[in-house]
């Protein structure tokens, strides 16, 4: 653990009430050596992810600056708000069925990433989520193998899915 001042965050939203977690690392610092996301949560929200629906009613938990230029929907998810303007998400019910949801992060991987970015550390869950993040890289190989460099219209669904996992396929 670093010498960062510990911060406790209390969460009260539609999916978690009375939940709290402690941040033991500085915001955006001291990530696991194997976890090197291309994008911050703020950058992801600004580019357009999850149809603009993901963090709409739990903004109080995260810095206001994350939402200043975020592409957010007013109601249900809208794929036009996604950077590649396609839907690349599965439902929460599917995530639960596949065992991808951890009790502390009922919204899934991106919620875990936001909280990890904020400085929360849960070693066993961090290892599980980083393993999942690394597995998504297979889509990068498919884009490289099947698309011309710089062709942003090639495989938009895979590109949007990568964006949902903090990979920036615009670099390919």
In three state form, how does the secondary structure of 66-123 look?
Answer: HCCCCCCCCCCCCHHHCCCCCCCCCCHHHHHHCCCCECCECCCHHHHHHHHHHCECCH
| Phi, psi torsion values for 107, nearest 5 degrees | -95, -5
* Banded pLDDT at 3 (limits 50, 70, 90): low
pLDDT of residue 166: 97
What is the Cα–Cα distance from 120 to 114, expressed in whole angstroms? 9
pLDDT of residue 144: 94
pLDDT (tens digit per residue) in 82-98: 999 999 888 778 878 88
Average pLDDT over residues 130-134: 96
pTM to 2 decimal places:
0.92
pLDDT of residue 63: 96
pLDDT (tens digit per residue) in 29-54: 999 999 999 999 999 999 999 999 88
């Amino acid at each position: 653990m670093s010498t960062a001042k510990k911060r406790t965050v209390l969460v009260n939203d539609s999916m978690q009430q009375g939940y709290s977690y402690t941040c033991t690392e500085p915001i955006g610092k001291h990530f696991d050596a194997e976890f090197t996301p291309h994008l911050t949560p703020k950058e992801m929200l600004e580019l357009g992810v999850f149809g603009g629906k993901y963090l709409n009613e739990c903004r109080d938990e995260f810095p206001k600056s994350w939402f200043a230029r975020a592409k957010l929907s007013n109601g249900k998810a809208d794929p036009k708000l996604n950077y590649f303007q396609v839907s690349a998400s599965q439902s929460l019910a599917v995530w639960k069925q596949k065992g991808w949801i951890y009790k502390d992060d009922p919204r899934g991987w991106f919620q875990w990433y936001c909280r990890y970015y904020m400085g929360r550390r849960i070693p066993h869950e961090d290892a599980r989520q980083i393993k999942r993040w690394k597995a998504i890289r297979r889509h990068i190989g498919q884009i490289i193998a099947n698309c011309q460099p710089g062709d942003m219209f090639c495989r938009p669904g895979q590109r949007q899915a990568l964006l949902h996992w903090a990979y920036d396929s615009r670099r390919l």
